[in-house]
Amino acid sequence: MAAEIWNQFWLSLIPGPRAFALFVGASPFLIWAGWVAYQVHFRGDVTPPQQEKLLRPPGYSLQKKFDDLFDSVLLSLLGASVMLLIAAFSAVCAFQFFQAQQHGMNDALRYILCFGALFVISIVPGVALTLKAFRKTKEAQNTRLGLRGEQAVAEALHELADAGYRTFHDLQPDGTWNIDHVIVGTRGVFVIETKTRRRRPPRREQLKHVVEYDGRVLTFPSGDDTNAIPQAERNANWLTDFLAKKTCEAVPVESIVVIPGWYTESKGNYRVKVMNASYLRTYLRKQPEKIDPQQARRIIAALDDKCRTLEF
């Protein structure tokens, strides 16, 4: 009985007239979809209306990373669904042949072993792809949080245009790392590193919305960040050297670490400043004049050339 059901199942998989008619009917749609994909992704002879490249928007690197992670999650879930479906199908078939063997069906054991092997082969990558999707989902959530933090800081910086500042975002020194924001004006050149962090239950006697800063370490209620300050210093040193080569002038660059949504407490007046996005506007507005307007324009021109990399 099981063998007859199995033979009927395989015969049902053979395309009949209806399946062939469905394929013929869907062919125009498939051809149209392929043509659209070719026009959008592969044609290289389409000339954009604007030849000048665009400035990088705030959080551009994180946005690209988030998009890649989102695509990776979708592909992993798709692959996991296919593998787990095959595993479920193999398990059902193996169970059916096991029952058939109990009723004396010949050669059923061979089919049980084949479907059992197919189950193992499909369940392992299915589970692995599922775990990968969960891991990438967590990474995508953290990336989106960082992106929103950079956008919040950019919004605060854009309000400083009336103070004579020009803002640049996502400066790429060599393509492997980036500087979140650079703001330039006669009041100085500032490198801004954004650190966005969720508020978690405190693990020490510290208010849950307060970050303490001792010149080297950012102490959050749920843990420490020892990388933010050295990173901000490295960014400032790189930008100092870059502007000195581009403008042939000494350019002092100051470092600021901005933590959106937190209240910061500094234990001293340190070289690298730490503050939230709200106080950032006040801090930059009260800075004295430090740079000649002509030099500021040369700095802006050098940064504009460096950050204007996006194709239209």
pLDDT tens digit at each of 312 positions of the chain: 445 545 544 444 444 454 444 455 555 655 665 666 566 555 555 666 777 888 999 999 999 999 899 888 888 888 888 888 888 877 777 777 666 665 555 566 666 677 777 788 888 888 999 999 999 999 999 999 999 999 999 999 999 988 899 999 999 998 789 999 999 999 999 999 999 999 888 877 888 889 999 999 999 998 899 999 999 999 999 999 999 999 999 989 999 999 999 999 999 899 999 999 999 999 999 999 999 999 999 999 999 999 998 877
DSSP conformation letters of the chain: -HHHHHHHHHHHTS--HHHHHHHHHHHHHHHHHHHHHIIIII---PPPS--SPEEPPTTHHHHHHHHHHHHHHHHHHHHHHHHHHHHHHHHHHHHHHHHHHHTT-TTHHHHHHHHHHHHHHHHHHHHHHHHHHHHHHHHHHHHHHHHHHHHHHHHHHHTTGGGT-EEEEEE-SSSS--EEEEEEETTEEEEEEE--------SSSS-TTEEEE-SS-EEETTEEE-SHHHHHHHHHHHHHHHHHHHHSS---EEEEEE-TT-EEEESS--SSEEE-HHHHHHHHHTPPP-S-HHHHHHHHHHHHHHHEEE--
**C-beta of residue 210 within 8 angstroms of C-beta of residue 263:** yes
- Model confidence, pTM: 0.77
Of the CA atoms within 13 Å of residue 276, those in its CB half-sphere come to: 12
For residue 34, the model assigns a pLDDT of 62
φ and ψ at residue 211, rounded to 5 degrees: -115, 125
| CA dihedral (203, 206, 211, 212) positive or negative | negative
For residue 135, the model assigns a pLDDT of 94
For residue 29, the model assigns a pLDDT of 56
φ and ψ at residue 196, rounded to 5 degrees: -105, 130
Taking the alpha carbons at both ends of the chain, their separation in whole angstroms is 66
Provide the 10 A C-beta neighbour count for residue 298: 18
Q: Are strands 218-220 and 210-213 parallel, antiparallel or unpaired?
A: antiparallel
Structure tokens that stand for 178 in this block: 């980036």
Residue 225: left (phi > 0), alpha (psi -120 to 50), or beta?
beta
For residue 122, the model assigns a pLDDT of 85
CA 8 – CA 4 distance, rounded (Å): 6
CA 93 – CA 41 distance, rounded (Å): 42
